[in-house]
Structure 1
Amino acid sequence: FLLDRINAATQGRSLAANIALVRNNARLAARIAGALGDALREDGMKGATFFSPREKVPPLGGG
């Protein structure tokens, strides 16, 4: 509902902006993942485990 209203109010420009944002985020995520993989390989994979098996992964939103 809300996105339809925004799309209508911006005459479709918001849709194009959102698509560009998603594409840029995907590109950035790929670069970060690649850099992290390179760093882990250079480190001999010592940092490959970010959480110990006993440690809980924090939930999204801190809840």
Structure 2
Amino acid sequence: MIDDEGVLQSVDVSAKFVNGKPARIEAKYVMRTPRDWDRFMRFMERYSQANGLQFVKN
């Protein structure tokens, strides 16, 4: 994941193929500190605004 602050990356990524074509990608991004969580949330805020999405707390 790339934004103005830099890169967030994970090596835990898997893909599912159906009839030889990619159908789904799953990735796990581990946040070990509150700072990591804050950084991820800033990324998600910018991503959601750029793509017309919305975050709702339940």
Task: Answer yes or no: same fold by TM over 0.5.
Answer: no
- Higher fraction of helix: 1
Larger of the two Rg values belongs to structure:
1
Q: TM-score range by the shorter chain?
A: 0.3 to 0.5
User: Which of 1 and 2 has higher RCO (CA within 8 Å, sep 6+)?
Assistant: 2
Instruction: Give the TM-score taking structure 2 as reference length.
Output: 0.35
